[in-house]
Amino acid sequence: MSYTPPGQDPYAQQPDPNAQPNPYGQPQPPVQQPYEQPGLQQPYAQPWGGAPVKQNNGLALAAMIVGIISIPAACCALLGIAVGAAGAIMGHISMKQITQQGQANRSQALTGIICGYVGLGLGILNAIAGAALSLNGGFGSF
């Protein structure tokens, strides 16, 4: 940092030592100082009303919750089948309602459908495995 004699602004813009002189003699555009406060501007006009908020479909949320619960519920074969089917059906119904009414939470309905079918499939596989084991005498026959 260099010494600035009293009476001079130490923060004034210093000439650039690497600047090339203008060979054509044209005036340079004025340089706006950094940190300079711009003039006061009028604020943007506020719109008359905000954008309409899309409502959520409650059945889609319920389908997502039931669909997610159906995956661990598939440990009990009949419970997994019933809960998975309920989640998938609720998801399909809510998806139809969302498209008709223009609601917002389509991803929750889709999650309910996918998880419901996964829980349903796992429940069916568990039921088949349980039936096969019971017909063959259980785990002791292996």
Segment 82-99, tens digit of pLDDT: 999 999 999 999 999 999
Spatial contact of 70 and 87, defined as CB atoms under 8 Å apart: yes
pLDDT higher than 60, residue 36? no
Segment 127-136, tens digit of pLDDT: 999 998 888 7
Which residue in 100, 69, 102 sits closest to 87, CA to CA?
A: 69
Confidence of residue 15 (pLDDT cuts 50, 70, 90): low
Cβ-based neighbour number of residue 118 at 10 Å: 19
Which residue in 52, 51, 53, 56 sits closest to 105, CA to CA?
A: 56
Average pLDDT over residues 15-36: 62
Which residue in 74, 47, 60, 44 sits closest to 112, CA to CA?
A: 60
Spatial contact of 55 and 86, defined as CB atoms under 8 Å apart: no
pLDDT higher than 60, residue 1? no
pTM score of the predicted model: 0.60
